[in-house]
Amino acid sequence: MTGKHSEGGVCSAKGFSANGLNCGINPDKNKNDLCMVYSDVLCNTAAVYTQNKVKGAPIIVTKRNLERSKGKSQAIIANSKNANTANADGEQKAVKMCELTAKVLGIRPEQVIVASTGVIGEVLPIEPIEKSMRELADGLSYSGNAKAVNAIMTTDTVPKETAIQFEIDGKVCTLGGMAKGSGMIHPNMATTLNFLTTDVAITSELLQKALSETVKTTYNCLTVDGDTSTNDMISIMANGMAGNKRIECEDDERYVIFKTVLHDVLEELTKMLAKDGEGATKMIECTCSGAKDLDTAIIVAKSVVRSPLVKSGIFGSDANWGRILCAIGYAEADFDINKVDVDVSSSAGEIAACRNGLIVAFSEEKAKEVLLQDEIYIHIHLNAGDVSAKAWGCDLTYDYVKINGDYRS
């Protein structure tokens, strides 16, 4: 890994402060439901959004803001418990959140990223947000990340944040972020609610390029239940406060370093999201290697982690290799099934499941040992090239059904 881990999540990079509180949208006073992230200086900003035709109002407003500000932002305002989506007054409410934020921070509304997560189709109450805005801004702190990440959690059981410290031009740089997402995760061209911050100096264009490309092999390869959310969004703010010479060119090795760190941060957050999928007891990571191209590798890997039969089999620690083979077989990609090998591993060992498209004889006892761990690795070898990709997901459990059988309560 390039660099080393650092504490602080979204506040790890220089000049970023955050806060979170319960403003009253969530009746549980011990759970934050509103957060703010602020940069001491204006940031170059990039974002990718859900491709679901149903777009949460916050997505529409954030997108518009970034267009108007030409890729600049200085703050994030986000709430949970209510997705502000599919409501007639959605945009008006999202715009209001930006105006309130801008006013209390002394910045422009179009320099605000706005996000909401939670139930779709219930009107967002703006009054609680308005009432808490002053307190929220006054409480901004360079160590406020924990309160912020708590505010964006919904069915998440653990907060997801990380940060990596690295060097560019002899300057210490940091890239950190926080994420939320548990159910309704099947990113397609965009992802869950994720906010990244960095103090690296880099142009908006390169920031967008790096983000869009890195998302393809990380967040876009995450699937908990196959459902692409209406509110998926990932944004990255870069404020340049690390003091490096601004990264302006793709061919620059410093861009390569930056993109590598971005990939590592995104992959970490992705695995955290997979591990905390609704009801999950096990994370599943599927690597497809030996593919002729990246799209093939991604499609095959995702097909396996998405399969309800594979997921429930893993929940039951059942060595039903045929289901893995079946999911590989219906992946919409071009390859020869008769060359496919599959192995399954975990911290308890590794076991061969398939050779040349046929299930091999195996020890049930060994298989059980392997599958009883809480991180299961499926390795698919297409033997058709040299490209590989990973996809992440989790097992399908009774708790998933329980959680989603009555989500709105």
> What residues are annotated to the active site?
191
DSSP 96: H
Q: Which residue from 40, 157, 372, 407 is in contact with a copy of itself, where contact means CB under 8 A?
A: 407
327 binds a copy of itself (CB under 8 A): yes
Site membership for a copy of itself, residue 228 (CB under 8 A): yes
Count of residues that bind a copy of itself according to CB under 8 A: 61
Please give the C-alpha separations between residue 186 and each of 215, 301, 309, in angstroms, as whole numbers.
13, 13, 17
Is the Cβ of residue 194 or residue 307 nearer to a copy of itself in the bound state? 307
Are residues 69 and 108 in contact, defined by beta-carbon separation less than 8 angstroms? Answer: yes
Q: How many residues are recorded in the chain? A: 409
Beta bridge partners of 333: none
402 binds a copy of itself (CB under 8 A): yes
Say whether residue 294 binds a copy of itself (CB under 8 A): no
Whether 204 contacts 45, CB under 8 Å: yes
Alpha-carbon distances, residue 38 vs 175, 286, 356, 366 (angstroms): 15, 37, 54, 51
Does 109 interact with a copy of itself (rule: CB under 8 A)? no
Binding residue (CB under 8 A) for a copy of itself from 108, 359, 369, 375: 359
Nearer to a copy of itself, 184 or 236 (CB): 184
365 belongs to the binding site for a copy of itself (CB under 8 A): no
CB 397, min distance to a copy of itself, A: 6
What is the dihedral angle through the alpha carbons of 373, 378, 379, 382, rounded to the nearest 10 degrees? 170
* 372-391 binders of a copy of itself (CB under 8 A): none
Q: Of 46-54, 65-73, 93-101, 290-298, which part binds a copy of itself (CB under 8 A)?
A: 46-54
Contact flag: residue 335 with a copy of itself (CB under 8 A): yes
CA-based torsion, 216, 222, 228, 234: positive or negative: negative
Three-class SS state of 232 = coil
Q: Which stretch binds a copy of itself (CB under 8 A): 35-43, 103-111, 291-299, 315-323?
A: 315-323
Listed ranges 93-101, 199-207, 252-260, 393-401: which one lies at the site for a copy of itself (CB under 8 A):
393-401
Window 115-134: residues binding a copy of itself (CB under 8 A): 119-122
**Contact pick of 2, 203, 204, 312 for a copy of itself (by CB under 8 A):** 312
Contacting residue, 337, 349, 350, 374, with a copy of itself by CB under 8 A: 337
Q: Decide if residue 225 touches a copy of itself (CB under 8 A).
A: yes
Smallest distance from a copy of itself to CB 183, Å: 7
Residue 200 · residue 165 · CB < 8 Å: no
Backbone phi and psi for residue 170, each to the nearest 5 degrees, phi listed first: 70, 5
Which C-beta is closer to a copy of itself: that of 108 or that of 368? 368
Pick the closer one to a copy of itself by CB: 174 or 228. 228
201 contacts a copy of itself (rule: CB under 8 A): no
Contact (CB, 8 A) for 282 and 395: yes
354 lies in the site for a copy of itself, by CB under 8 A:
yes
Query: Could you give the angle at the alpha carbon of 145 between the alpha carbons of 10 and 149, nearest 5°?
Result: 95
Q: Alpha-carbon distance 164 to 175, whole Å?
A: 5
Residue 285: φ, ψ to 5°: -120, 125
Spell 201-240 as b/e; 16+ CB within 10 A means b: bbbbebbbbbbbebbbbbbbbbbbbeebbbbbbbbbbbbb
Cβ-based neighbour number of residue 249 at 10 Å: 10
Q: Which stretch binds a copy of itself (CB under 8 A): 17-25, 161-169, 242-250, 306-314?
A: 306-314
Query: Shortest distance, CB of residue 53 to a copy of itself, whole angstroms?
Result: 4
d(CA 192, CA 50): 8
Backbone angles phi, psi at 274, to 5 degrees: -65, -45
- Cα 73 versus chain centre, distance: 20
Q: For a copy of itself, which residue of 1, 41, 54, 249 counts as binding (CB under 8 A)?
A: 54
* 349 touching a copy of itself, by CB under 8 A: no
- Provide, rounded to whole angstroms, the least separation between the CB of residue 232 and a copy of itself: 10
CB 352, min distance to a copy of itself, A: 12
Residues that bind a copy of itself (CB under 8 A): 51-55, 83, 85-88, 119-122, 183-184, 186, 188, 225-230, 306-309, 312-313, 315-316, 318-323, 325-330, 335, 337, 354, 357-359, 396-398, 400-402, 404-408
